[in-house]
Structure 1
C-alpha cells in the first residue's frame, strides 16, 4: 500500500463524490478549518505597528507552525492506520478532501452554461466564486478568460501538486502541501496588510509548485496534441507575474489558440499584466468547454503517470 496507490484511491473517491454539500453544511471542510487557524495566527501576530522585518519573521513563524501542525496530525493518522486495508481506506478518504478535481470542473462548467446563453449576470456571479478580480468589470471575453485561467492554474494547485507531493510522501505530504497552498491563499497577498506577514508563505508556495506547475503545463500540451501549446508555454510562461501559474496558463492559451492574462481589476486597483499568446483572439464560451475537455484529458495523462509511479513503488 504505497503512497502513490494511496493517492490513486484518494483521487478516485474525490472524483466520484467530491466533498458533499450535506457534509460541508455540517462540518465545513478541512481547508476551512485550517484557514480559520491561519486567521487566528494572523490576527494575533500581524501588528501594523511592527517593522517590516518583524512582521515577516512573525509570518514565517506562524506559517512554519501551521504547516508543522498539519503535517504532524497527518503523520499521527498515517502511523495509526498503516497496518490494514481499513486504515488505508480511511487515509484515502481523508486525502480525498485535499483534492479538488471534481469541484474545479463543476465551478468552471457553471460559468460556461450561462455565458453560452449570453446571460452575463449569471456568468459574472458564477465566475466570482473562482477568481479574485472584479466580475462587474468583465465582458464576455473577460469572463471566459478568467474562467480558463482559473481552470489552468488550479489544475496545478488543486490537483497535480497535491497528488505530486502525496505520491512521494503519502498523507503527510499532501497535508503539508495543502497547508502551504492555503497559507498562500489566505496571507500571501501583495497588499499593505499581508506583503510582509505573508511574504514567507508566498515564497514557500512558489517553491512547492515549481515542479507541479511545469508538469501541469506539459500535460495540457500533450493532451492538446498541439506543438504550439509547448512553444507558447516555453516562450510566454516567464511573462506571468507568478513564477509558476504562467506555465499551465500559457500552455492552455497555446492549446486553445486564444490569449489569456492581460490587464485586470482587483477592486479599485488595476493590474497591468502582460498577455500570454498575445497575437491570438479572445476566448469565448465555447473555448471554456474546449478547455474543460483538455482538462479531463490532461488529468487522464496524470492518472497514467501516477499509476506508473505506483507500480514502480510496489517494485521497490
Structure 2
C-alpha cells in the first residue's frame, strides 16, 4: 500500500472539484480516451464474418493490448517522477480523474431530487444517464431501485476498485484497472456482437473486482444503521446476483436500507428476470436514495481515513 497517500489526494481532489466541465471540453477525460481506443479495436478486430473461436481469440488479444498499454503508460510516467512525498502528491494529482467519487454522488442525487417532488418524467431522464434499462417502464419504485443499484455497484467499480489497485501499485495499478473496467463496460456484455469478442474483457473484470466488491460490501455493512440486516442480506443474497461481484455491494446496500432491489427489469423492450436481493422487504422510494447516499458518503470518508492511516504507518 505504498501509494495509499496518493489515493487520498486523488479522492480529496475529486470530492472538491469533480472533473470540471471546462476541462472536459478542452481535453476530454482519460476514460473517453480509452473508450476511443477500445472502439477502434472493436471495429477493426471484431469481424462478424469470423467464427466465434477466432473472435474470442481476437478479443483476448485486443483486451490484453489495451491493458498492457495502460499499465506501461502508468509505469513510464511514475518512473520519471521524483521520489518521496512529491511523488505521492503528483501520483495523486494524476490519479484524480480516475476516481469518480463526486460524479457518482451527483448523478444519483440528480435522480432523487425530482423524484422527491413527484416529477417522474425528470427522474426517468436522470436515471437513464446512469443505467441501461428502459426508463419509460419505471415507476417511482423502479427508478429508486435503479438509482440505488447503480450507486452500490459503481461505488465499487468507480471508487473502491481503482483506489484499491492504485494504493497497491500507483499509476500502473489505477490506469490498468480503468482499462479493464472500460473494456468490460464497452465490450464485456452478452450481446450477439460481443459474447465471443468480449469474453476476455468480462472475465478479467471479474478477477479485478473480486476483492474490491467484497470490500465495498463490508464497508457498507460497517456504516449502515441496520448493520445486522445489511450483513445478513449480503451474506445470503450476494451470490444470487448474475454478476460474481456486483451482488456484494448491492445486497449490502439493500439490507442497509431495508428495501428490495434488482428483480425483473426491461432492456430494449425485453424483460430479464433477475432475482430479488432482500426479497420480502418493501420497495424503495425516493427518500431511500438519500439514505443510500448518506451511507455512500460515510463509506468514502472511512475509506479515505483508512488509506491515510496506511500511508502514515
TM-score by length of 1: 0.96
Structure 2 SS opposite 1:280 = coil
Aligned-CA RMSD value: 1.3
1:252 aligns with 2:277: no
Cα pair 2:11 2:304 within 8 Å, conserved: no
Moved more, 262-271 or 204-213: 262-271
Question: What is the aligned partner in structure 1 of residue 151 from structure 2?
Answer: 151
Shift of 1:82: 3.1
CA distance in 1, matches of 2:54, 2:253: 40
CA distance in 2, matches of 1:309, 1:89: 15
Cα pair 2:3 2:88 within 8 Å, conserved: no
Question: What is the aligned partner in structure 1 of residue 216 from structure 2?
Answer: 216
Unaligned runs of 5+ in 2: none
Cα pair 1:6 1:167 within 8 Å, conserved: yes
TM-score by length of 2: 0.97
Aligned positions of 1:301-316 closer than 5 A: 301-312=302-313
1:228 aligns with 2:229: yes
Question: What is the aligned partner in structure 1 of residue 36 from structure 2?
Answer: 36
Cα pair 2:59 2:199 within 8 Å, conserved: yes
1:278 aligns with 2:286: no
Aligned positions of 1:69-84 closer than 5 A: 69-83=69-83
Shift of 1:165: 0.5
Question: What is the aligned partner in structure 2 of residue 17 from structure 1?
Answer: 17
Shift of 1:85: 5.4
Question: What is the aligned partner in structure 2 of residue 91 from structure 1?
Answer: 91
CA distance in 1, matches of 2:146, 2:246: 13
Q: Deviations over 1:74-104 (max 9, x none)?
A: 1111011133755544322220110001000
Cα pair 1:263 1:273 within 8 Å, conserved: yes
Q: Deviations over 1:246-288 (max 9, x none)?
A: 0000000001000000000111221110000010000000000
CA distance in 2, matches of 1:24, 1:168: 28
Q: Deviations over 1:23-66 (max 9, x none)?
A: 11111111001000000000000011111111011001000000
Query: Which 4+ runs in 1 deviate beyond 6 A?
Result: none
Structure 2 SS opposite 1:265 = strand
Cα pair 2:162 2:177 within 8 Å, conserved: yes
Aligned positions of 1:118-129 closer than 5 A: 118-129=118-129
